[in-house]
Structure 1
Amino acid sequence: MRTFGVEEEFLIVDPDNGSPLPLAAELLRLHDPGRPRVSHRSPLPVLAVELQQEQLEVITRPHSSLRGLAAEIRAGRNYADALARKAGGRIAALATSPVPVAPRHTRNDRYDALLEKFALTAREQLTCGFHVHVSVGSDEEGVAVLDRIRPWLPTLTALSSNSPFWNGAESGYASFRTQAWNRWSSAGPTEVFGSARAYHSLVEDLSATGVVTSPDFDARLSARHPTVEVRVSDVCLDARDAALIAALVRALVETAAREWEAGRSPDMVPAAVLRQGAWRASRFGVAGDLLHPVTHRPDTARNVLNALQDHIGDALDETGDAASAAESLQRILRHGTGATRQRQAFERTGRLSDVVAHATALTHQEPADFDPLGERLLTRDAETAIPSGDLVAISG
């Protein structure tokens, strides 16, 4: 069974007015990964700074089971929030800031160079994504996977959409993070590579331009781990949605690898068409028509999600995640994504600070005595247990 892990980026916010707070360095100072674990089942999460000091990244270990990964997602959110409270803030799973903010960038050589090169694009780039890493056996298999999952990635953007507000304004998009992120020069969908050699050749050619050193493709090979990294999702307001996205990505990777092994060619749809699918997902989430991953024509979100389930059904069955994934997909169709929740909060009071407060509460909401995908009752110990196993942190 393929292992998988996630990276969640969070906003650090003022609990009183919802403004992002530049506290990342302080939270890392409070975090001491060298201190003894409480037990072998509860290691401290891996934390990292990002471009802006108003955000914090929480990185899980690789897991074989969805239950273990989902438990660590919740534990990581709660741990980061405990650190933020000590510094006078809170952790909120918001992919963009609803309230206006002038971000303060992290001072190091890498980020200083980014600010110098990309100017306003970098200065305004306060966005929080959700990245899923899935293990692959080789670069050749990884690139074959990248070539075959391309049409399905906008569906993940739609399901995770959680950024309707941008700097104090209603953007009109379910995922405005996607629009802001695509200002980076190498962001977005890619053409079919065909081989690991072609993939690495393109990366080298991009680096030779002097603009980018690590491309921001929608999905890419990790530079440091034997994984495929899928990067199209907003950070999810609901931890159950995060677990769902991770399960779907693992199933997509497994399905693509099997297609490659069976000699099935990838869909050669141009990246320019896929970009239109990404735009639809960003604009509407699951509340409007999406681009169907097979026909590349507009279709209802329900039909697109049904097509996704059909496509990866065997892989979900084999990991034991099919029933809970289907239930979570239906929950999102009924109740909407994080973007829906944010807009509902704003409609109630008309205050963006209340949107942030509501989002902060939902970030840490525990569905009492239910497993992370709402599948069935659990004991508290089973709900919070993180299985031991592979202890190598996934990052970048």
Structure 2
Amino acid sequence: MSTAAGSGERQARAALSRLMEPSDWVGLALVAAVGPVDALRIATGSLAPGPSLQTDVQDLLGRAAEDGGARTLAEALERWVPRARELAPGRDLATIARFGGTLLVPGDELWPEALADLQLGSPLCLWVRGRLDAGIPPAQRVVAVVGSRDSTGYGNAVTGDLAAGLVQRGCCIVSGGAYGIDAQAHRSAMAAAGDAPVPATMAVMACGLDRYYPAGNEELLRAVAERGLLISEVPPGSAPTRWRFLQRNRLIAALAGTTIVVEARWRSGALNTAHHAAGLGRPVGAVPGSVYSANSAGTHRLLRDGSAVCVTDAAEAAELAGPFEAATAESGGWQAPLADHDGLGVEELLLLDALPVRQGAAAGKLAVVAGLPEQRVLAGLGRLELAGLAVRDGSGWRRNRRQ
């Protein structure tokens, strides 16, 4: 992994991520005004702020997406004092390394460009564990699937179909690692991906990545850490809090090009994610449910207000996400796994579906199954063989699955 930030900036951002809460607007404005190294020195009292710094910070806050002017720099400096004594960025970096993870900062090759849409609210850094060899997928290929923690059987079934169908179309699923819809989305994405060499799912956590929260999802989150990505903006050892849960929702919305809400009560964290996505100008979809289900009251609210588009299956979700051609290796080093059917015409698709997996079949039998003339079948089998999708042995023709 190539990096643009020096060790001093990396250490400073690691320390600031412990000193400041996510979306600490005064702190983020301070970093924007003087850079992370001097911001840390000012925040910890080893460097006095210049006479014009308060004005610079207030000017940045005045142009931020949210009003941060209610707190001054002097108040923030006082607020940071208790944590300043406990900073040990070297220890935090060693901890994440021990778990096989790393720290990403702006300027790194793998830093997600989509986070720039958060403007001043962009995180100071990202603590990451998992399959970083393929990079973090670009937003064009990421779909957020979120919803209620107390999901219904209907919600779980729809989520499973959506996540699996989207992964099969080359998408990566991002969610929050919570019970209910989040867990089902992660689980189905990994099941659909099989042994694909790229992350099929990402979990954005509200706590440090040295712990699995909620505890009941430990096995699932371990699997995500092995086969996907765990992401957090708070350092190891950080506990989940209500504020951190709400703020991680903006990261889910920013990392995803599209957000789908499957089930959500009238007041739900999933709605918070949807509102962040809408604020970023990203498309939002909502799955309709029973008018008698409290778990769908929030999704119906999104649909009624015009904040979301009705989505009922993976094809509609993919249509909402739009074309993926713009997402290339240059946009984050991530490419979707090729599916067997990519680039095939109608006849080849029919023939591919007709091919048995284990025991071979004669061309005449395949013609019956595929509904094609035998001469076309023979020509199609030749094309599939050249593509590495069909193989002939003593028993006839059978499917040759890509490894």
Normalising by structure 1, we get a TM-score of 0.29
Whose Rg is larger?
2
Normalising by structure 2, we get a TM-score of 0.28
